[in-house]
């Protein structure tokens, strides 16, 4: 019999219906696990002191009405760059230490309206500037598979919360890999909706033209349920799409992938990539073929060009977005910015300055357009593209020291899809050195149902959806 922390959303709801346990039981179970393991892993920065009270209300609702809301009584971990009423939001920066938001982000409001209970706020790279959580002003989160390794980032805390089984599901955000990369390093499932599918209102901005809220969970089925809840037009965010939100879970459960065309991106098998990592991706391609999909090699722009393109665009937008943190309206002095944030502000201000805008920012946007055009063309033939999520497994703690481009290098295989606003998943596909490796499955913009369907079929036909034993984690 599964333990409470091992249950999926559907299994939690089934347990509620049968009376096997209550919401109070489940929330208390997670809070006890957090109390035990968080001091070692540094995943949660703040806990919700109303969680058990909210669980009592859920139990009352279930007794009176049954389960009528999609996420009723589901304990979730929330990345600490989403504004949450009554719960501090710091973006892991000393500038916002102790900050209590005056309103709720649209994404977290939708989760609450669906019945979710927030256990607390999770660690991230300061202002999401990084791919490791090592830039957090409150110390790095450690990887539950091996505490000498990093969990990835910037949603490292949320990914680690699922890996350590400290919540049923978690919320993250991605600018250029910040959901999928930590999901891969922590061996969990992460899903990035298309840009504009989920609202950015109330999310502390990093790069406004690529920021995308999305879920991390035990299975792709759970991410589909959450994506269903958080998606849709928001009158408070003009960048959200008016496209109808399809009922994503109904597209799952396919027995095979007959008729599906998948492109294996040859440029994503980097010359510097370890052979055992490459082999796992090739094995995943074979598994997709065995499920009926047609998998052939395709070519994209060399991912090295995404590094410079994303670096210029993101830092330009960062310099603009962080201008509001002046120590006057809210927050502390700008001296409290961490070194990584300062570097990004300086580079972004430089690229937008007179005489350099055309040479850098405008050129980066032109390359971005070429990337989008290339994806548009290739998706006329293929339903999805696959490759590794990251060049290798989780790196050691301290790997970011003296590496100002660490994030870009570790997200090199994801940046093109994020810059183009595409949708995609990270799903476990094997292990090297006892550390998980992730497979990216990427689809065209607003093809969430297709990405979820393919990922679900792959995940149900593989056995890599494993979780570490924290009692044995070194």
Residues with a catalytic annotation lie at 79, 154, 178
294 - beta bridge partners?
261
For the chain, how many residues are written?
474
- Residue 114 sits at φ, ψ, to 5 deg, of -85, -5
Q: Is 401 left (phi over 0), alpha (psi -120 to 50) or beta?
A: beta
Structure tokens at 130: 């990084």
Sequence-ordered list of residues with C-beta below 8 angstroms from that of 444, at least 6 positions apart, any chain? 375, 376, 379, 422, 423, 450
Question: Can you give 103-134 as a three-state secondary structure string?
Answer: CCCHHHHHHHHCCCEEEEEECCCHHHCCCCCC
Q: Comparing C-alpha atoms, which of 77, 38, 406 is closest to residue 215?
A: 77
**Element of type H or E holding 456:** helix 448-460
Q: How far apart are CA 405 and CA 399, in angstroms?
A: 11
d(CA 375, CA 378): 5
- CB atoms under 10 Å from CB of 277, counted, come to 20
SS3 217: strand
**Alpha carbon distances (Å) from 225 to 169, 353, 452:** 10, 44, 10
3 state DSSP class of 339: helix
Q: In the structure encoding, which two tokens stand for residue 442, read together? A: 């990427």
Helix ranges (DSSP H) in 19-173: 23-41, 51-65, 106-113, 156-163
Sign for the pseudo-dihedral over CA of 292, 180, 160, 62: negative
């Amino acid at each position: 019999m599964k333990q409470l922390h091992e249950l999926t959303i559907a299994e939690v709801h089934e347990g509620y219906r049968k009376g096997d346990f209550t919401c109070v039981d489940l929330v208390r179970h997670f809070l006890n696990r957090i109390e035990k393991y968080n001091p070692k892993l540094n995943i949660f920065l703040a806990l919700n002191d109303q969680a058990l009270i909210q669980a009592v209300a859920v139990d009352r609702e279930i007794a009176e009405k049954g389960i009528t809301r999609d996420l009723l009584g589901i304990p979730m971990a929330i990345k600490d760059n989403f504004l949450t009423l009554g719960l501090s939001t710091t973006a892991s920066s000393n500038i916002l230490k102790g900050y209590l938001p005056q309103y709720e982000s649209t994404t977290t409001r939708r989760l609450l309206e669906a019945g979710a209970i927030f256990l607390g706020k999770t660690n991230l790279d300061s202002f999401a500037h990084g791919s490791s959580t090592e830039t957090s002003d409150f110390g790095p989160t450690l990887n539950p598979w091996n505490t000498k390794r990093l969990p990835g980032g910037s949603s490292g805390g949320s990914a680690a919360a699922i890996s350590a089984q400290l919540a049923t599901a978690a919320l993250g955000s991605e600018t250029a890999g910040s959901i999928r990369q930590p999901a891969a390093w922590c061996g969990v499932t992460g899903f990035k909706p298309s840009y504009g599918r989920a609202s950015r209102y109330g999310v502390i901005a990093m790069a406004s033209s690529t920021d995308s809220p999305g879920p991390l969970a035990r299975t792709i089925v759970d991410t589909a349920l959450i994506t269903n809840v958080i998606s849709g037009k928001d009158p408070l965010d003009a960048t959200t799409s008016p496209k109808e939100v399809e009922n994503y879970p109904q597209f799952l459960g396919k027995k095979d992938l007959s008729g599906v065309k998948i492109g294996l991106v040859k440029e994503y098998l980097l010359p510097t990539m370890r052979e055992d990592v490459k082999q796992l991706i090739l094995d995943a391609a074979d598994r997709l073929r065995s499920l009926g999909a047609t998998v052939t090699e395709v070519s994209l722009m060399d991912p090295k060009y995404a590094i410079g393109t994303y670096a210029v665009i993101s830092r330009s937008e960062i310099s603009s977005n962080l201008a509001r943190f002046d120590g006057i309206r809210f927050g502390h002095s700008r001296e409290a910015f961490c070194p990584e944030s300062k570097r990004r502000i300086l580079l972004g201000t430089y690229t937008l300055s007179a005489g350099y805008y055309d040479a850098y920012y405008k050129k980066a946007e032109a390359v971005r357009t070429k990337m989008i055009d290339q994806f548009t063309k290739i998706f006329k033939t293929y339903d999805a593209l696959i490759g590794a999520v990251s060049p290798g497994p989780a790196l050691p703690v301290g790997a970011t020291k003296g590496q100002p481009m660490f994030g870009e290098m570790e997200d090199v295989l994801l940046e093109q899809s994020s810059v183009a606003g595409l949708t995609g998943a990270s799903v476990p596909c094997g292990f090297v050195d006892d550390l998980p490796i992730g497979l990216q499955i990427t689809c065209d913009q607003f093809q969430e149902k297709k990405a979820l369907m393919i990922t679900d079929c792959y995940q149900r036909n593989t056995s890599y959806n494993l979780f570490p034993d924290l009692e044995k984690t070194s």
